[in-house]
Amino acid sequence: MSIVQNRSRRKPSGGRNRASFTKRVHALGRLPTHTTVGQKRESIIRTRGGDIKIVLLSSEEVNVYDSKEKKYKMVKIKNVVDNPANRNFVRRNIITKGTIIDTEIGKVRVTNRPGQEGAINGVLVQ
């Protein structure tokens, strides 16, 4: 069974929406990429129009911007401290946008979407 990004089969009232068409390739979705802490692993996915998307499956480094020094540094990740997307992601060390991770130089907030962009970027949290 495929994941499709169509209108829901149920109305807000609970009634049924009649299907006006069947599943199409342009409406295909994908399972979420749960980027974890670990040895770097990437995957390449073909997207619509023949483009490619680099999906980050796991990483042990983060590209951190230090606003005081106005420089970027590659720093090792220790673990996930907080994740506003889902509190269970903290236990599983899953990194999404907005996640606060503990690194060698302090706590860092992730500013990009690692499951969509192939890298982890962040800003130091004071």
Q: What is the pLDDT of residues 47-93, one digit of tens each?
A: 888 999 999 999 999 999 998 999 999 999 999 999 999 999 999 99
Q: CA 15 to CA 17: how far, in whole Å?
A: 7
Q: Is the pLDDT of residue 36 over 90?
A: yes
Q: What is the DSSP string of 52-112?
A: EEEEEEEESEEEEEETTTTEEEEEEEEEEEE-SS-THHHHTTEE-TT-EEEETTEEEEE-S
Domain boundaries, the chain: 35-124
| 87-103 pLDDT, tens digit each | 999 999 999 999 999 99
- Please tell me the predicted confidence (pLDDT) of residue 20: 80
Of the candidate CATH numbers 3.65.10.10, 3.20.20.150, 3.40.50.1110, 3.10.290.70, the domain formed by 35-124 belongs to: 3.10.290.70
Q: Is the model's pTM score more than 0.85?
A: no
pLDDT band at 6 (very low <50, low <70, confident <90, very high): confident
pLDDT band at 26 (very low <50, low <70, confident <90, very high): confident
Which of 103, 94, 97, 88 minimizes the C-alpha distance to 38? 94
